[in-house]
Every structure is written in structure tokens, then in C-alpha cells.
Chain A
Amino acid sequence: DSGVTQTPKHLITATGQRVTLRCSPRSGDLSVYWYQQSLDQGLQFLIQYYNGEERAKGNILERFSAQQFPDLHSELNLSSLELGDSALYFCASSVGLAGAAGGRTQYFGPGTRLTVL
């Protein structure tokens, strides 16, 4: 168990809908990262927050947004969902920033499997 929790585990919804994925980082970790993993693909980096502030952005669609709250949990909001948004969404956390000594190891949650019908 990595200490990173994600809810829900599974989510099935229809096109055009909006969903919110939740992530609680490991105790003491300030950085939260969101990744999308489609079938047989690597991890697509979406966005990173550090202590409540957005620090790095990847190929995140404008229909997606995220935030990190004062208690350091994070939410990823996906709106106007399309069939192609079906994927595993992972949250990871680390002590510091990616590339910095404290942030080099990211611990992943179990993921949320999103299915858009």
C-alpha cells in the first residue's frame, strides 16, 4: 500500500457528463501529480500541484481541471466527457518537486478506471 488513496475505484458515465476524481497524498507529501493511462500506453502526465499551487502542466485538455486543497488532497475534474477519455487516471504524490531530490520518487495510488459510454 503506497499511502496514496484515490476514489472512486471505478466510474462509468455517459458522454457529455462531468466527473470528479479525488486523491489523498501520502502523509507529509506536498506534491500531487495526475496522470492518464490509456490501454497499452505509458503514463501521460496531466498536471502537478505543490502545496496548493499549480507547478507543472502536461497535455491536459481544457475540459479537464484540477485543484489542490489546503489539506493537500486534490481533485481532478473532467467535463464534457468523450469516449476517448476512457482511461485509468492515476494520482501520485511526492515530498517535493519532480526532478528535485525530495521529489524524485512518486508514489502512486491505485487509480480510478473511468469508462465513458
Chain B
Amino acid sequence: GIQVEQSPPDLILQEGANSTLRCNFSDSVNNLQWFHQNPWGQLINLFYIPSGTKQNGRLSATTVATERYSLLYISSSQTTDSGVYFCAVGLNAGNNRKLIWGLGTSLAVNP
């Protein structure tokens, strides 16, 4: 099955720093999403990005489907960015729809 690897597993930043999180996947997919789980457990969609580049405020994401990776950029990080960032990929294929999650990158932003 499809493998999803996220790196780095852990990241500690000083407030204001920039960072790049990476998601590699082992096979062609037509669904890729980034989620953020905050320290209180709330899990929020960040991007639906099977290909191309999207930006939302200080966050942006790029997926290069042909090379099977996606990057999540966080600029001018804030303490509220802390939490775990998950990449999830899948195939929206009929009755075999699946979503496969990476293990996440745990981010701590210090004031």
C-alpha cells in the first residue's frame, strides 16, 4: 500500500522563524491534505492540495505530484502554530477510497 513519510518528526522553533515540513508518498495519489492538530486535540484542515501551490496567510503548501512529495511552509511562526502537522494522502477511487496518514511533525514554537 501507499507509504507516507513526514519529516522532520519533531521541530522546535523560536517565534518568528520560518520552517518547511515535508511529506513524501510512495505512489500516485489524487488526494493530499494537510491537517493541523493543536495541543487541545482539535484537528483542522489546512490545505487540500493534490497538486500545485496554495497559500493561506502565513501558510503555504506545494505538491509536486510527479515527484511524490508535498511541502508545507510556515512563515513568521507564532506560538499558536504549535501542535502536530499531518499529511494525509489517498485515492478517491470508487469503493476503495482510502486516506493514509503520515505520523506527523510535532512543532513547538517558543516565545
Contact = CB atoms under 8 A, between A and B. Distances in A.
B41 A108 contact: no
Given A42-B31, A58-B44, A106-B100, 9 more contacts: A42-B45, A43-B31, A43-B45, A56-B43, A99-B84, A101-B103, A104-B4, A104-B102, A106-B99
Contact of A58 (B42, B95, B102): B42
A110 interface: yes
A45 interface: yes
Contact of B100 (A41, A48, A105, A110): A105
Contacts, number: 70
A108 B99 CA distance: 8
Interface residues of A, number: 25
A62 interface: no
Interface string A12-53: 000000000000000000000000000001111100100000
A28 to B, nearest CB: 16
Q: How large is the interface on B (under 10, 10 to 19, 20 to 34, 35 or more residues)?
A: 20 to 34
Contacts of B37: 56, 99
Nearest to A108: B97
A56 B48 CA distance: 19
B73 interface: no
Given A56-B41, A58-B43, A98-B101, A43 B95 contact: no
